Structure 1
Amino acid sequence: MPVIGMRAANQFIRSLGVTLLLAGCSGPWNDPNEPEKPGETVYYGSYSSRLQHLDPARSYSAEEALFIDQIYESPLRYHFLKRPYVLEPALADSMPSVRYLDKELQSVSAQSPDLAFSLYTITLKPDVFYQPHPAFAQKSDGVPLYLFETKEASQHFKTLSDFPVSGKRLLKAEDFIYGIKRLADPANKSPLLGFLSNYIDGMSEFSQTVKDVPRDQWLDLRKFSLGGINVVDERTFTIRIKGKYPQFLYWLAMHFFAPIPWEADRFYHNPGFQKRNLTLDWHPVGTGAFMMTQNDPNKGITLERNPNYWFDPYPSEGAELDREQGLLEDAGKPMPFIDRATFRLEKESLPQWSKFMQGWYDRSGDDTHNISSDNFDRAFVVSGSGIDLSPDMKQRGINISTEIKPSIYYYGFNMLDPVVGGYSEKKQKLRQAITIAWNMEEFLEIFTNGRGQAAMGPIPPGIPGYKEGKAGINPYIYNWVNGQPERKSIDEAKRLLAEAGYPNGRDAETGKPLVLYLDTTGGSSGPVADWRRRQLENIGVQLEYRTSDYVRFKEKIRDGNTQLFGWGWLADYPDPENFLFLLDSAQTSGNCKCDGNNSTNYENPEFDKLFRQIKVMPDSPQRIALLDKAIDLVRRDNPWIWGYHTKEYYLNNSWVYNTKRHGIAQDTLKYLRIDTKQRRQLQREWNKPVIWPLITIAVICLLIVLPAVIAYRRRQNMRVSSVQERED
């Protein structure tokens, strides 16, 4: 063996020894996260879809709200712990006051027939500041520091980190006015423009005015008045809406009503900024607990603690405080509890799950996608008593957060259809028979791992009007048996079908089989499609599919050219009005001359009358009584096959606290607390380097190399001896 070979062998042996030595004393080799700063508390999470909009005026996506709602705040928010959901002040110093006005803007009572407007007055908390941002940097004369006349003058600024100076700015009432004007500006393409124009006085006129104004770069919206919104003083503003609409308070808790400082809007309209993604749609500016410091669409997003965040203590009331909801030691402490949150884009569920199980993610998911079906069987065991953690999850100390979403998925009957539509007793019984046969409990068990709750009507749990137990069952579809609801039998469904004129699934007059048509975008084959067919075959009814793309599907619903179709709704706010309006006749496409939300074309004058009353009433026993009547009507008429409310399951590693999920709000990151010491310890235990293959390779290499080394040294010794003998 040449000398260089010996050196290589020796180097290999030394390197191997060093590697084995480091394996015993270093941290995990597979840590995908960047090193933390000393004393820093970091949350590690993920999301599954690339974001499109981070401008609060433009975004209507739950995935985007995961980030927007940490950065922006609105006048109101939801209490983190209280259920049913309760509004509370956020940037507002107290709940808004409301005064009712006639057409001459004179005060009237809430019951006055002359009531034309509702005037909401909102007073802000004092001493609230925006996050540090270059938009607020100023010259000595108060002029913004970063204003450029040309693209060339701003070409050196590629990202926000290129701006060496940032400023801070006090929140003012005028910022809410500016934000609402941005909603009204057609250039911003807000998805709420049409809806809010029906309520905020003067919004339609403002939209038309600014639409026709020529603009090059920035249009200063402060120069244009919007009649229904006004500044009273630096901390107070008013919003005047048409008529009486108590649910408007819920809209004041959405990020659409977040304040927007004009300086930020002006800053992002500098020449050349848009092409470099220096926009409000890419880099938000808010007063929230966190600010965005990195936005890489192909990698992930980083949020850091807003150093200017106002004193916001963890709640000390509202629910029994436990591990999920919060520890008593956290009550009253200022939030947020973490310094930085790093979110990685994980488009596939498998790598996300693997990293969670290795401890690199703190929770199993952060956006609207809960545990995938592929991983559900690994995480849970399903028994007659319900869903529980698997032994492996319990051994790891992992715990569950659950939330029944304020949502409903259903199958709609087109009430204009000559077969399944109509309001006669026979038509009611036909729809009831089909609904009984459509066994949603079986569907949930087979296709969703039991992650849902069969619907008893249009109102989901957590929303006023929903009732638990025997009082809440749908008596047309269920019986109450042994303390729980039990779906009526197939024999009962067949009886109703016969009374509807279809004995054994055939028309009593013509003898022809009853064939129903389900319009869908999902195809006509596969396990779910076969399951649907079997449900109706149980009562002798045939089901066929009419498939189309989504655009055509929407056209058919709008034009009333469907018979059966699948649909769903997720609440914008936790009020029964947000579900009952799906059955309001004014929301049919024909009546509203639009893509109405009443896709079944249900029209019942008695229900409409009740809905009009419910819509403008505050929560009260009287309102609940009217809700009971309205719900009973739609249960009897049965315009929907009552589907299910989704139940989501999320897993939390044992070092994460205050993990309660909120079905409406997403501004929950600030409540989380992390035990970083426990996390590091368990990460080491779960990611110990597997070094036995290295040891095996080392032994094999030594067994191969050692004989050659021994032979080499023997030859060397023999040569030395031979030379010495010649010299002697």
Structure 2
Amino acid sequence: MLVMIMTGCTDTSWNNPNPPEQPGETVYYGSFSTRLQHLDPVRSYSAEEALFIDQIYEAPYRYHFLKRPYVLEPALAKGMPEVSYLDKHLKPVPRDSSQPAYSVYIITLKPNIRYQPHPALAKDEQDNALYLFKDESSALQYKTLYDFPQSGTRELIAADFAYGIKRLADPKNKSPLLGFLSNYIVGMEDFSKTVMAQDRSGWLDLRTLPLEGVEVVDKYTLAIRIKGLYPQFRYWLAMHFFAPMPWEADRFYHNPGFQNRNMTVDWYPIGTGAFMMTRNDPNSGITLERNPNYRTDLFPSEGAPGDKEKGFLTDAGKPMPFIDRATFRLEKESLPQWSKFMQGWYDRSGDDGANISSSNFDRAFTVSGNGVDLSQEMLDRGITVSTELKPSIYYYGFNMKDPVVGGTTEAKRKLRQAISIAINTEEFLEIFANGRGQAAQGPIPPGIPGYVEGKAGINPYIYDWVDGRPQRKSVEQAKRLLAEAGYPNGRDKNTGQPLILYLDTTGGDAGPIADWRRRQFEKIGIQLEYRTSDYVRFKEKMRNGNTQMFGWGWLADYPDPENFLFLLDGSQTSENCQCDGANTSNYDNPAFNLLFQQMKAMDNSPEREALLARMVEMVRKDAPWFSGYHTKEYYLNNSWVSNVKRHGIAKDTFKYLRLDTAERSQRQVQWNTPVVWPLIAGLAGTAIIIFPAIRAYRRRQTQTINKSTSQRGNG
């Protein structure tokens, strides 16, 4: 009976970990691996948090889902920004005049865009805010955002963008972009100082404080004035930092006692995106639901070559989103995440950028001379793979101020070049990353303007072009360069002392990767030592330039070479910018710096490409970085999920997903049919053992009763 109850009384799998669905509802099931810290769009600079933020909030612009190279398109804006130029007297000047003092971006919004339902926008019959409280005791019954019985909405207007930018400039919000954007948006630095001088004991209405560089022209038009020429500013307008914020939400979350109960915009977002958050338990799970006020947004009708054949245009012209709800569970370990994906409880192998772990890679893929292919098990299940060569670079760097590995002399360059040849990046990727990466030929990754394919794009100081592909120069060549640098056989030619170099790391000095690094240096006679510290101390070393060699990385904020080459700009060293400089190698080449300033003020053109080629050549020759690579990531999709094309920069991709829920249910039952024979066998074995004991017990009881009856009869 127990077996029958467990296996025969339901048409779904009894081990289903997902909550029940409503009839006709399309639900996506996913996971995330890192506890979220911030959901405030002006605070978060995390890819894991952007997985949720970018579904809820929208910026004026976004990236086309399918087109490659990456292409900006209007989102909340009616069209691309109109850009005009002014001199220092605020008089109009042409773009090709001598350097304009200012650029003005005019953004015109689409009308009739409305916010998701939210209690901050709820009004009474007199059009007053319904939930404003004078003291904490008046609102004690509201423990979470979901305790409010009424919600409201209103139309998006240009003033909401102005308010959002002012929040970004408010030092109290601790935006990571405040320092950077203060260099561009006119008056932002002064606005921040003004805000800090205000009484902050209660809510500060930022509408009352002017920000010089941001002007609300009319209900749907906003003007942003920035310093000089910076064409890349349009990319920043596609990031969630520039999402609109209704002032009513800021006021609502400053109700007395709300922050003590964690009722803040950092915990409960409010946006115009395709989804709204209806559950936020970062220790357990997060739920997003379709925004009922979302505007008409159609799936793209064109894409990159081959997208039609791959089925990415099947839904062209259809309104999005295609799913009603997305439920995400926190999975801190890769094993349970993988197991649930293989059982069909998760629709894809990872949503927050978590790559397939090495322990599962061999099960999912087969590696051959032809590359990486899905394993037969995956093919039998109908699983598909999405690959992505991310616009990123991970590298080891030299501290160019270090007396041993730094400097600009020819000898110092040859030392760095010798080490760059010796550290076999291809071997590292093959051993430790299942080949999931591509050795870097320079600081610009594939897919970004300035990257050059083929023979013309190799680093000639490290590689030769052999049989149609780059081939790393020999160890003998590295040893010759090392000798010419003054260290024959790894010893100082003047003192005879061995050359010992130090790598600063947080990963310790033991383990396979640490041993592999040592062997790479030993190939040319150099001894490698590790200086390990915790992450806080490591960051302090990087900030103060107290390293010799280190590992670092960068993932593109936007698809422009400026976003990578600024990592080598001399103004970005910690010494020159008096900040946590992005130029961690302290590379400061005056010629490179001059070209960088010219290049970043240019639109893409053959002239800009020529400047980029010169800059890349300088970096290759000077070698402030070594052993760089671009990551290639693999994501698995169950057969019932479509429109799964990965985007290297944009995260707002859940509205494009389509699910075949009928197939999912069928597969879940198929893959989770309970194996009951061990239970039956166990019950049978138990019965076999217990039944003789029961018979013996009953026999003994019968004998006792008979004996007792006989004795009474005799009496």
Superposition TM-score, scaled by structure 2 size: 0.95
Partner of 1:143: 128
Correspondence 1:433 to 2:424: no
Q: 1:528 to 1:18 in 2, by over 3 A?
A: closer
Partner of 1:245: 230
Partner of 1:126: 111
Q: Deviations over 1:543-576 (max 9, x none)?
A: 1222233333333333333221211112211110
Partner of 1:16: 2
CA apart distance, 1:526: 1.7
Select the residue among 9, 15, 26 that pairs with 1:30: 15
Q: Aligned runs of 1:42-53 on 2, under 5 Å?
A: 42-53=27-38
Paired with 1:29 and 1:114, the residues of 2 have a C-alpha distance of: 69
- Checking the alignment, whether the CA contact within 8 Å between 2:308 and 2:314 is kept in structure 1 is no
Paired with 2:67 and 2:402, the residues of 1 have a C-alpha distance of: 43
Q: 1:500 to 1:35 in 2, by over 3 A?
A: same
Q: Aligned runs of 1:329-368 on 2, under 5 Å?
A: 329-368=314-353
Task: Give SS of 1:237's match.
Answer: strand
Q: 1:128 to 1:20 in 2, by over 3 A?
A: closer
Paired with 1:704 and 1:114, the residues of 2 have a C-alpha distance of: 94
CA apart distance, 1:479: 0.8
Correspondence 1:200 to 2:185: yes
- Checking the alignment, whether the CA contact within 8 Å between 2:449 and 2:561 is kept in structure 1 is yes
- Checking the alignment, whether the CA contact within 8 Å between 1:398 and 1:652 is kept in structure 2 is yes
- Checking the alignment, whether the CA contact within 8 Å between 2:278 and 2:289 is kept in structure 1 is yes
Partner of 1:68: 53
CA apart distance, 1:244: 0.9
Q: Which moved more, 1:470-479 or 1:338-347?
A: 470-479
Task: Give SS of 1:207's match.
Answer: helix
Q: 1:603 to 1:711 in 2, by over 3 A?
A: closer
Partner of 1:7: none
Correspondence 1:413 to 2:398: yes
Select the residue among 51, 59, 64 that pairs with 1:79: 64
Partner of 1:229: 214
Paired with 1:203 and 1:569, the residues of 2 have a C-alpha distance of: 27
Select the residue among 271, 276, 288 that pairs with 1:286: 271
Partner of 2:545: 560
- Checking the alignment, whether the CA contact within 8 Å between 1:41 and 1:339 is kept in structure 2 is yes
- Checking the alignment, whether the CA contact within 8 Å between 1:406 and 1:663 is kept in structure 2 is yes
Correspondence 1:667 to 2:652: yes
Q: Aligned runs of 1:314-325 on 2, under 5 Å?
A: 314-320=299-305, 322=307
Task: Give SS of 2:223's match.
Answer: strand
Partner of 1:469: 454
Q: Which amino acid in structure 1 is aligned with residue 454 of structure 2?
A: G
Q: 1:533 to 1:18 in 2, by over 3 A?
A: closer
CA apart distance, 1:676: 0.3
- Checking the alignment, whether the CA contact within 8 Å between 1:130 and 1:169 is kept in structure 2 is yes
Paired with 1:712 and 1:591, the residues of 2 have a C-alpha distance of: 94
Percent identical residues: 70
Partner of 1:3: none
Q: Which moved more, 1:705-714 or 1:329-338?
A: 705-714
CA apart distance, 1:240: 0.4
Q: Deviations over 1:640-689 (max 9, x none)?
A: 11411111111111111011111111101111100101100000000001
Paired with 1:640 and 1:438, the residues of 2 have a C-alpha distance of: 12
Q: 1:323 to 1:680 in 2, by over 3 A?
A: farther
Paired with 1:549 and 1:491, the residues of 2 have a C-alpha distance of: 37
CA apart distance, 1:230: 0.7
Paired with 1:376 and 1:642, the residues of 2 have a C-alpha distance of: 24
Partner of 2:712: none
Q: Aligned runs of 1:536-685 on 2, under 5 Å?
A: 536-685=521-670
- Checking the alignment, whether the CA contact within 8 Å between 1:324 and 1:659 is kept in structure 2 is no
Paired with 2:264 and 2:132, the residues of 1 have a C-alpha distance of: 14
Q: Which amino acid in structure 2 is aligned with residue 22 of structure 1?
A: G
CA apart distance, 1:695: 2.2
Task: Give SS of 1:119's match.
Answer: strand
Paired with 1:222 and 1:652, the residues of 2 have a C-alpha distance of: 46
Task: Give SS of 2:123's match.
Answer: coil
- Checking the alignment, whether the CA contact within 8 Å between 1:324 and 1:658 is kept in structure 2 is no
CA apart distance, 1:20: 6.4
Task: Give SS of 1:328's match.
Answer: coil
Paired with 1:583 and 1:386, the residues of 2 have a C-alpha distance of: 33
Q: Which amino acid in structure 2 is aligned with residue 366 of structure 1?
A: D
Q: Aligned runs of 1:133-172 on 2, under 5 Å?
A: 133-172=118-157
Paired with 2:642 and 2:493, the residues of 1 have a C-alpha distance of: 63
Paired with 2:620 and 2:690, the residues of 1 have a C-alpha distance of: 83
Q: Which moved more, 1:281-290 or 1:512-521?
A: 512-521
Paired with 1:308 and 1:648, the residues of 2 have a C-alpha distance of: 35
Q: Gaps (5+ residues) in structure 1?
A: 1-14, 723-728
Output the aligned Cα RMSD: 2.2
Partner of 1:725: none
Paired with 1:303 and 1:539, the residues of 2 have a C-alpha distance of: 55
Partner of 2:499: 514
Q: Which moved more, 1:491-500 or 1:49-58?
A: 491-500
Paired with 1:137 and 1:560, the residues of 2 have a C-alpha distance of: 52
Paired with 1:41 and 1:279, the residues of 2 have a C-alpha distance of: 30
Partner of 2:713: none
Paired with 1:193 and 1:614, the residues of 2 have a C-alpha distance of: 24
Paired with 1:238 and 1:644, the residues of 2 have a C-alpha distance of: 40
Q: 1:17 to 1:248 in 2, by over 3 A?
A: closer
Paired with 1:213 and 1:691, the residues of 2 have a C-alpha distance of: 69
- Checking the alignment, whether the CA contact within 8 Å between 1:457 and 1:642 is kept in structure 2 is no
- Checking the alignment, whether the CA contact within 8 Å between 2:302 and 2:313 is kept in structure 1 is no
Select the residue among 96, 100, 109 that pairs with 1:111: 96
Q: Deviations over 1:63-101 (max 9, x none)?
A: 111100000000011111111211111101100011111
Q: Aligned runs of 1:178-189 on 2, under 5 Å?
A: 178-189=163-174
CA apart distance, 1:711: 11
Task: Give SS of 2:618's match.
Answer: helix
Paired with 1:324 and 1:305, the residues of 2 have a C-alpha distance of: 29
Task: Give SS of 2:166's match.
Answer: helix
Superposition TM-score, scaled by structure 1 size: 0.93
Q: Deviations over 1:335-384 (max 9, x none)?
A: 10000000001111111111011000000111122111221122112222
Q: 1:442 to 1:715 in 2, by over 3 A?
A: same
Task: Give SS of 2:272's match.
Answer: coil
Task: Give SS of 1:415's match.
Answer: coil
Paired with 1:616 and 1:199, the residues of 2 have a C-alpha distance of: 13
CA apart distance, 1:507: 2.2
Q: Which amino acid in structure 2 is aligned with residue 16 of structure 1?
A: L
- Checking the alignment, whether the CA contact within 8 Å between 2:188 and 2:211 is kept in structure 1 is yes
Q: Deviations over 1:108-139 (max 9, x none)?
A: 12233361111000001121111011111111
Paired with 2:144 and 2:544, the residues of 1 have a C-alpha distance of: 48
Q: Which amino acid in structure 2 is aligned with residue 606 of structure 1?
A: A
- Checking the alignment, whether the CA contact within 8 Å between 1:323 and 1:658 is kept in structure 2 is no
Q: Gaps (5+ residues) in structure 2?
A: 710-715
Select the residue among 381, 390, 405 that pairs with 2:375: 390
Q: Which moved more, 1:277-286 or 1:544-553?
A: 544-553
Q: Which moved more, 1:516-525 or 1:95-104?
A: 516-525
Task: Give SS of 1:241's match.
Answer: strand
Partner of 1:12: none
Which stretches of structure 1, 4 residues or more, deviate above 4 A after TM superposition? 321-326, 701-716
Paired with 2:8 and 2:446, the residues of 1 have a C-alpha distance of: 55
Select the residue among 465, 488, 500 that pairs with 2:473: 488
Task: Give SS of 2:314's match.
Answer: helix
Correspondence 1:296 to 2:270: no
Correspondence 1:95 to 2:104: no
